[in-house]
Amino acid sequence: MQSYETVIGLEIHVQLATRSKAFCADNAAFGGAPNTHTSAISLAHPGTLPRLNEKAVEYAVRLGLALGCEINLNSSFDRKNYFYADLPKGYQITQDQQPICRGGQLIIHGNTATTIRIHHIHLEEDAGKSLHDQDPNFSFIDLNRAGVPLLEIVTEPDLRSADEAAACMETIRHLVRWLDISDGNMEEGSLRCDVNVSVRKKGDPAFGTRCEIKNINSMRFARRAIEFETSRQIEILENGGIIEQETRGFDPASGLTFSLREKEQAHDYRYFPEPDLPPVRISTEKLEQIRASMPPLPHALELEFQTVYQLPAHDTEQLVQDRQTAVYFQNLVSEGNPPAKLLANLVIHKLLPWSAESGRSLADCPVRPPQWREFVGLIDTGKISATAANQQLFPALLEQPGSSPGQLAENLQLLQTADAGLLEQLADEVLARHPDKVTAYRKGKKGLLGFFMGELMKASRGKADPKAATAVLVERLG
């Protein structure tokens, strides 16, 4: 195993979140009773003609721009001919000769950043779904999915491990959700991939014979399939055998890949131009319009949060996991006060858990951003302790969202005091109760200051201003 290198290329299929299908007006939503999201067009009745979904083209361009692809202003569709029960027409409308996007790259992050080159992205229609587990004697066909628009992202063979393949899929899922072009739900088939795997001796520049593993809809399954297939191919080579190029399936129950058929070549599909669809022409004005509508990309916002707001990398990673979270944080820091780090802590440690528990989005939070800025300002200025703010004021604000945080803190008696007379009285009482520790402190055990502070804070019920209280204690201890 140590003397071999795994070479992996991915064909990632992204189901687009358009309301209608790629070439007709049928409902493209997931679910529904079997074969209800169909029409004469998606069922390929004689005489029916396709009509291109413009929104699918726009989504393809958005993804291409996000990945740094060259956008083909003149692309076209082709017929890919093969026969299967869930392919009503007996062919698939796809892009072969002139895909909508070429080139580009995807950066994945592990121990180091790795650049994965994109060969191309093409637009096509999905097939239906075959169900083989309903009855041992029959297979069932659901054509609801037939004709739903897909983008296929074809990478160069730049990946070298199962972990990199899973990271690539995770990054694509994050990106398509960020761009709002797909829900990326792997359980529903919105994101799946075919994995091309080959092995070669380390240092050998020539690629080995690849095998394609079809329709993997889980990152965990992708890891397991690649790991097994790598071991299988190495074992064959070590025993003097030859790897046969083929298409294989993956069985999650056993963790094994199995042969499906010999690998098809392009000529097996008898590609030819789709005669019922004209070429796709994208004007430069339309391209710039789409470019202008693009949201800031995750890596750009992550860099901005680190450089402009001086946030640590761990915080910025969490803030850009979801576009809604990043936008909400941007809104919070738009006034420039209080410190961005405290606002980031609020979003990461309080608001995101609240959103997950309540099932409500951050945008639907009843407490508005100006109130949260006031809330964090109370902590920053020392008017309330972080503990009291998070444990008492935070839930109180959610229960009384129209309240002023400052007024609510006062009503709840959470405001800290710097009253010198009160603090001196409390300090004297604490020191009088612990004369032995006072003696130890004065003999050099300075760590006891924390103990005295804890006792004073308890005596003040958390209302003592920490800085003022520390100064009083140090003065009293001499």
Burial degree of 283 (CB within 10 A; 0-12, 13-18, 19+): exposed
**Rounded to whole angstroms, how far apart are CA atoms 260 and 258?**
6
pLDDT of residue 132: 83
What is residue 264's predicted lDDT score, i.e. its pLDDT?
Answer: 66
Answer for the pair 10, 165: CB distance below 8 angstroms, yes or no.
Answer: yes
Q: Quick one: pLDDT at residue 465?
A: 74
What's the pLDDT at 110?
Answer: 72
Q: Which residue has the tokens 């049928």?
A: 26
CATH of domain 420-477: 1.10.10
φ/ψ of residue 30, rounded to 5 = -70, 145
- Which pLDDT score is estimated for 464? 78
**Which residues, at least 6 apart from 261, have a Cβ–Cβ distance to it below 8 Å?**
246, 247
Question: How many angstroms separate the Cα of 179 from the Cα of each of 72, 113, 172, 228, 322?
Answer: 20, 22, 10, 34, 10
Distance CA 76, CA 289 (A): 21
CA distance 169 to 151: 14
Reduce the secondary structure of the chain to three states and give it as a string. Answer: CCCEEEEEEEEEEEECCCCECCCCCCECCCCCCCCCCCCCCCCCCCCCCCCCCHHHHHHHHHHHHHCCCEECCEECCEEEECCCCCCCCCEEEECCCCCCEECCEEEEECCCEEEEEEEEEEEEECCCEEEEEEECCEEEEECCCCCCEEEEEEECCCECCHHHHHHHHHHHHHHHHHCCCCCCCCCCCCEEEEEEEEEEECCCCCCCCCEEEEEECCHHHHHHHHHHHHHHHHHHHHCCCCCCCEEEEEECCCCEEEEEEECCCHHHHCCEECCCCCCEECCHHHHHHHHHCCCCCHHHHHHHHHHCCCCCHHHHHHHCCCHHHHHHHHHHHCCCCCCHHHHHHHHHHHHHHHHHHHCCCHHHCCCCHHHHHHHHHHHHCCCCCHHHHHHHHHHHHHHCCCCCHHHHHHHCCCCCECCHHHHHHHHHHHHHHCHHHHHHHHCCCCCHHHHHHHHHHHHCCCCECHHHHHHHHHHHHC
Domain ranges of the chain: 4-285, 294-411, 420-477
The per-residue pLDDT for range 22-54, each reduced to its tens digit, is 999 999 999 899 999 999 999 999 999 999 999
pLDDT at residue 268, as a whole number: 82
N-to-C CA span, the chain: 69
pLDDT of residue 470: 86
Question: What is the pLDDT, as a whole number, of residue 128?
Answer: 93
Say if residues 213 and 179 touch (Cβ distance below 8 Å).
Answer: no
Question: What is residue 150's predicted lDDT score, i.e. its pLDDT?
Answer: 97
pLDDT tens digits, one per residue of 410-457: 898 888 766 677 788 888 888 999 999 898 998 888 888 889 888 888
pTM for the full model?
A: 0.85
Q: Which two tokens stand for residue 431?
A: 């020191």
Which parts of the chain sit beneath pLDDT 70?
A: 263-264, 266, 417-419
Could you identify the residue written with the tokens 């003999």? Answer: 443
72 to 99, 105, 274, 295, 318: CA distances (angstroms): 7, 16, 18, 21, 35
